[in-house]
Copies of this chain bind each other. A is one copy, B any other.
C-alpha cells in the first residue's frame, strides 16, 4: 500500500488535470502543459523539471482531456467518414484504408454508417461537424450535395468518394470503364456476338440486374453496358435492365421471375453489386448445375467467396486503396476551389 493515487485509483474519481500535476510538482500549469504535450522545445524547460513532471503525471495516471484541448485549439484531431454500411466488402475495405491513411497522419478515424438514410446521413455529418473534425470523407451517400452543403457551411473540408457531388472534389471508381470491360467479357464468353455474326438465333439476351438506375454508379455502369452491347450485339431493350434496388430480397425475386418468364437463365448475366448478387444466388443455388451451362455470370464488385461458387463468375474489383489514397491527397492538396472529378480504374478478375 503506497500512499499514491496510482494506477488502481478507484473508478469514478475525478481524473487528474494538469493542475493536480502542477500542485504535486510545484510547477505551474503552463509548464506542465508544455512538458506533457510536447510543445516544450520552444519553452527551454530544464530537463530535470521535465522528468519530474512526467513522472508525477504517470504516477497519477494522468491523461489529457481531449475535449478541453480541442476547445482551446478549435481542432479535434478527429477525421470523419460516413459509409452506408459496414456489411459490404467494398465499404469495409474503403473504411480499412481510410483508417490506415488517417493513422499515418496521426488523426483518429471515426467511421459512422448511415444505412443509406438521408436523414441519418445529415444528422451524422452534423454531429461530426459539431465535434470539429478536421475533414470528412463522404462515401455512398444518397445525397452527397446535401451533405456537402452542410460541410461547406461549416467550413469543413470534405470529399466525396465512390459517389460524386458538385460541391467538392470527388474520387470515384471508373464505373463506365469497368462496366465496359465486364460487359465485353460476358458477351465474348457467352458467344452471343459470334452467334449473331454467324446468323445463329439464340434464345434470351444479356441481362443487367441490381442497383438503382438513378444513382451515379449504376447510371455509369448501365451506360458502359449499353454502349458495348450496342456495338457488339445491337440495341438494348427495356427489359434487359432491371435496376430498381440493391436489396437482396428484391433481386432474388427479380431473377426468379426472369427465370420463370424466359424458361431459363439468360445467356449472360451482369449483376450490379455483391449485395444484389447475394440475393440472386439465393435463387440460383436452387437450380441444378446444368442450368448454368448456357449462362455466363459477372458481378460488379468483388467478394472472395463469390469467386468460388459452383459456376464461374467474372468480377470487377474496385481499387479501394487507390480511391482512399487519392482522397487524402486531395484533402491535403491546395484548396483548389473547383470541384474536380477523379476516376480510378477498377480491375477485372475472372474465375
Chain A residues within 8 Å of B, Cβ to Cβ: 7-13, 15, 61, 63-68, 70-71, 76, 85-87, 89, 92-93, 95-96, 99, 103, 108-113, 120, 124, 126-127, 129-132, 149, 152-155, 274, 278, 281, 284-285, 303-310
Residues of B within 8 A of A155 (CB): 9-13, 15
Report the minimum CB–CB distance from A20 to chain B (whole Å).
14
Interface pairs (16), CB distance under 8 Å: A7-B149, A9-B153, A12-B155, A63-B126, A65-B132, A67-B131, A68-B71, A85-B96, A86-B86, A87-B92, A96-B113, A99-B112, A110-B110, A278-B304, A284-B308, A285-B308
CB–CB B71/A99 < 8 A: no
Known: A109-B112, A155-B12, A285-B308. A67 touches B61 (CB 8 A): no
CB–CB B309/A66 < 8 A: no
A231 to B86, CA, bound (A): 41
A95 to B126, CA, bound (A): 21
CB–CB B76/A86 < 8 A: no
CB–CB B99/A63 < 8 A: no
A39 to B55, CA, bound (A): 42
Copies in the complex: 2
- The 9 closest A-B CB pairs, nearest first, are A305-B305, A310-B310, A11-B155, A66-B130, A86-B92, A12-B155, A67-B70, A67-B71, A67-B67
A333 to B143, CA, bound (A): 39
Residues of B within 8 A of A132 (CB): 65-67
Q: Which residue in chain B gives the minimum CB-CB distance to A128?
A: B108
Q: Which residue in chain B gives the minimum CB-CB distance to A8?
A: B153
Known: A15-B154, A61-B153, A308-B285. A87 touches B76 (CB 8 A): no
Q: Which residue in chain B gives the minimum CB-CB distance to A126?
A: B63
A92 to B132, CA, bound (A): 26
Residues of B within 8 A of A153 (CB): 7-9, 61
A56 to B248, CA, bound (A): 46
A299 to B75, CA, bound (A): 46
Residues of B within 8 A of A120 (CB): 103
Q: Which residue in chain B gives the minimum CB-CB distance to A103?
A: B120
Report the minimum CB–CB distance from A247 to chain B (whole Å).
14
Q: Which residue in chain B gives the minimum CB-CB distance to A112?
A: B109
